[in-house]
Amino acid sequence: MTDAFSFRVRHTDDLARSGLITTAHGTVPTPAFMPVGTRASVKAVTPDEVRDSGASILLGNTYHLMLRPGEELIRGAGGLAEFMGWRGPTLTDSGGFQVFSLGERVKLTDDGVVFSSHIDGQRVNLTPARAIEIQGALGSDIAMILDECPHGTASREEVERAVDRTTLWARQQVALIRPAHQALFGIVQGGIHEDLRLAHLQTLAELDFDGLALGGLSVGEPIEQMYRILRAVAPQMPAERPRYLMGVGTPDDLLTAIGQGIDMFDCVMPTRNARNGQAFVHGGRINIKQARYIDDPLPLEPGCSCPCCRQFDRRYLRHLFTVGEMLVSRLLTLHNLHHYGSLMAGAKEAIAEQRFAEFARRWSQPLVTP
Is 147 among the residues known to form the active site? no
d(CA 184, CA 188): 13
- Asked: is 6-267 a CATH 1.10.287.3510 domain? The reply is no
Report the mean per-residue pLDDT for the chain.
96
Which one from 13, 93, 141, 210 is the annotated catalytic residue? 93
Find the radius of gyration of the CA atoms of the chain.
20
Tell me the pLDDT tens digit for each residue of 44-95.
999 999 999 999 999 999 999 999 999 999 999 999 999 999 999 999 999 8
Contacts with 48 (C-beta within 8 Å, 6 or more apart), sequence order: none
Which has the higher per-residue pLDDT, 55 or 366? 55
Q: 287: pLDDT confidence band, cut at 50, 70 and 90?
A: very high
Domain spans in the chain, listed from the N-terminal domain onward? 6-267, 274-363
Q: Under a CB-based contact definition with an 8 Å cutoff, are residues 11 and 296 in contact?
A: no
Tell me the pLDDT tens digit for each residue of 114-125.
988 888 888 989
Tell me the pLDDT tens digit for each residue of 241-255.
999 999 999 999 999
Q: Could you give phi then psi for residue 164, rounded to 5 degrees?
A: -60, -45
Please give the pLDDT value at position 71.
98
Cα–Cα separations (whole angstroms), residue 17 to 20, 248, 284? 10, 18, 25
Please give the pLDDT value at position 97.
79
80 beta partners: none
Q: 206: pLDDT confidence band, cut at 50, 70 and 90?
A: very high
Please give the pLDDT value at position 124.
87
Above 70 in pLDDT, residue 368?
A: no
Please give the pLDDT value at position 66.
95
> Between 251-258 and 327-352, two packed helices, what is the crossing angle to 10 degrees?
20
Q: 369: pLDDT confidence band, cut at 50, 70 and 90?
A: low
Q: Could you give phi then psi for residue 125, rounded to 5 degrees?
A: -110, 115
d(CA 361, CA 354): 14
Q: What percent of the chain has pLDDT over 70?
A: 99
Tell me the pLDDT tens digit for each residue of 141-156.
999 999 999 989 999 9
Which one from 141, 210, 253, 266 is the annotated catalytic residue? 266
Residue 37, classed as helix, strand or coil, is strand
**Mean pLDDT of the region 102-124:** 86
Is 120 among the residues known to form the active site? no
Q: 105: pLDDT confidence band, cut at 50, 70 and 90?
A: confident
Please give the pLDDT value at position 117.
85
Nearest to 363 by CA among 236, 254, 278: 254
Above 70 in pLDDT, residue 370?
A: no
Cα angle 205-206-207, degrees, rounded to a multiple of 5: 90
**Mean pLDDT of the region 179-188:** 98
Strand duo 142-144 + 183-188: pairing:
parallel
Q: Beta strands of the chain (E only): which ranges?
A: 6-13, 16-23, 26-30, 32-34, 36-37, 58-60, 90-92, 106-109, 112-116, 123-126, 142-144, 183-188, 211-214, 243-245, 264-266, 278-281, 284-287
